[in-house]
Structure 1
Amino acid sequence: AMAARLAAAIEDSATAKLAWLPQANEVFAVIKKAEAEKLQAAGAAFYDWHKPHGFDGHISEDELLYRFVTSFATTADEVDRFGQLIA
């Protein structure tokens, strides 16, 4: 449920785009490097991820693919705060 909520926040963002729709608790997004640094400085936790073989999404020079992981401990408030940061 939190992964879907996180994916919706990313879809609504003007600074990020989903790499593909989540099917479990992991969400992958393409984000500008400078924006990702701001998000991490504000406390968001996520990881750089290598572009998988056959990935057909566009990633420009100033963007990277990032991996987000939700769990049973992820709260709606945490996801909503991230949504506010990335809006």
Structure 2
Amino acid sequence: MSRESDCREDVRRLKKFADEIEQTMDNVQTLCGHATWKGPKSDRFRGEWATHKKSIKDTLATARAEIDKALTRIEKEETEKKKAGTGN
């Protein structure tokens, strides 16, 4: 495999993992809803969870942006390497 195809596979897996994290967060949100869980501990958890959820989503957004930058950089390097190898 080439460096670019390895990177593409890593990107695919990382995006899949990020999607799975988001799906899990949605499941937590559903499970800790007012209809499912009541009382002061549930209210405290929901308040804390909202903060954690925002932090996790922000981190995932940053990670996705960095993943895309890395792939773009690898694609550019591989293109330049191919051009140098053909004498163009």
Q: Say yes or no: TM over 0.5.
A: no
Larger relative contact order (Cα-Cα within 8 Å, sequence gap ≥ 6):
2
Q: Choose 1 or 2 for highest CA Rg.
A: 2
Q: Which TM class, normalised by the smaller chain length?
A: under 0.3
Q: Could you say which structure has the higher helix fraction?
A: 2
* TM-score calculated relative to the size of structure 2: 0.25
